A and B are shown apart, each in its own frame.
Chain A
């Protein structure tokens, strides 16, 4: 079947098998490798993307189901108003606290953080833990990830700009 998906503001049309997941569409059809496959059964969260602004597991969405929705991947979290090579506040905070090691779960964590901070600009550490509870990390033990998201929240609140998401 032919489908057209709106990914990071760009339309991508392809002829696909219905069984193709959104995750595989993003990686193999759209060539966006930043979204990762960890389990392909919806537990680890490495495949997290935003679908109409909400964090979802792309391995649990058929590409066909996503037609008509707006998909955002880690590649577009930089934001249209940012220069190439410039990190978003959330991404920079992850670098500041070293909230990652191998980086495999990191795109999912960044998107989970983005979703949280859009709804809860001043979260507690417990709020942060709940927001990332569906993303498994095997490297960090989460402590420095929570540090990163708390730091990002602080910096986002201190910005002298209207809230446009990070």
Chain B
């Protein structure tokens, strides 16, 4: 399983990388390589040029930008997993990262790479969708922003223009007094591609009234998606009407069927996982209030 031949270039700046993309429309960016290299080996991807962005300054930083946490596209998943800013401000992402691959793949794989690869079962796209992240990319004409909610359009399919390079992801920081999160995933073996996954992020005010609830699911259809959920603002009432609210929301989802799991299984399990994720989040808020 040797890749088809390609050229390799290591641009020094993001603009250089964009210039390469502009002159080679079938070029591929390589970040961590954990998703791209297997595709090259199986000859499912056959770029004429591979552009290595690992050494471009400024792409590996995590910075607090006031109302958002900005994660550079080259931030390795292992670094994100142990980062205090992410632990503090993006607890849902921190939880999801423990499910991403195995330690050897997290040393190399990147936050940006996972987003652009857009596997329907991947955890980082799910969290980006849940939290309404903004994906900022650049091509030779300048910067383009995409809302994560719109970005994923099919299995391994995104809106990224062929000549653009993702360079940072802006995750909005929570605004309310209390934040609770929950992340659950089921795979055949631990760390396999999820057959179903759910991430919940809930914010409540100082009195415990729910201000914002974000629930997203992945692994069950062609791309991760928000699940619109109506919950009463009263926390106590929230818990009891949960299952029904989730069930209604799932009617809008197209469930995938494959050799690993039936559509009915994915629906049943994601409902269970969504319930657990929301319960975890509500419990965290309750514990915070106490």
A is bound by B: yes
| Chain A residues engaging chain B, CB cutoff 8 angstroms | 1, 17-19, 21, 24, 40-42, 45, 48, 51, 54-57, 59-62, 64-65, 68, 112, 115, 130-131, 133-134
In the bound complex, what is the Cα–Cα distance between A51 and B78 (angstroms)?
14
Query: 27 A-B contacts, Cβ less than 8 Å apart?
Result: A17-B5, A18-B5, A21-B41, A41-B42, A42-B34, A42-B38, A51-B108, A54-B104, A54-B107, A55-B107, A56-B104, A56-B107, A59-B37, A60-B33, A60-B37, A61-B108, A62-B30, A62-B37, A62-B52, A64-B52, A65-B33, A112-B104, A131-B103, A133-B190, A134-B102, A134-B104, A134-B191
Interface pair B41/A40, CB less than 8 Å apart: yes
B5 neighbours in A (Cβ, 8 Å): 17-19
Interface pair B190/A45, CB less than 8 Å apart: no
Q: Does B40 contact A (CB under 8 A)?
A: yes
Q: Does B4 contact A (CB under 8 A)?
A: yes
In the bound complex, what is the Cα–Cα distance between A1 and B10 (angstroms)?
12
Q: Does B7 contact A (CB under 8 A)?
A: yes
| Chain B residues engaging chain A, CB cutoff 8 angstroms | 1-8, 10, 30, 33-34, 37-38, 40-42, 50, 52, 54-55, 78, 101-105, 107-108, 190-191
**Contact check: which of B50, B52, B103, B108 meets A60 at CB < 8 Å?**
B108
**Contact check: which of A18, A56, A112, A115 meets B50 at CB < 8 Å?**
A18
**Contact check: which of B3, B10, B42 meets A19 at CB < 8 Å?**
B3
B42 neighbours in A (Cβ, 8 Å): 41
Shortest Cβ distance from residue A18 to the other chain B in the assembled complex, whole angstroms: 3
In the bound complex, what is the Cα–Cα distance between A49 and B144 (angstroms)?
38
B6 neighbours in A (Cβ, 8 Å): 18-19
Interface pair B104/A61, CB less than 8 Å apart: no
Shortest Cβ distance from residue A111 to the other chain B in the assembled complex, whole angstroms: 9
A19 neighbours in B (Cβ, 8 Å): 2-6, 40
A24 neighbours in B (Cβ, 8 Å): 2
In the bound complex, what is the Cα–Cα distance between A21 and B52 (angstroms)?
14
**Contact check: which of B8, B34, B104 meets A64 at CB < 8 Å?**
B8
In the bound complex, what is the Cα–Cα distance between A135 and B116 (angstroms)?
26
Counting chain B CB atoms within 10 Å of each CB, which of A1, A18, A59, A131 scores highest?
A18
B2 neighbours in A (Cβ, 8 Å): 19, 24
> Other CB < 8 Å A-B pairs besides A48-B104, A65-B30, A133-B190, 17 of them?
A18-B50, A40-B1, A41-B42, A42-B37, A45-B102, A54-B107, A55-B107, A56-B107, A56-B108, A57-B34, A57-B105, A62-B8, A65-B52, A112-B104, A115-B103, A133-B102, A134-B105
Query: Who on chain A is nearest to B106 by CB?
Result: A54
A41 neighbours in B (Cβ, 8 Å): 1, 38, 41-42
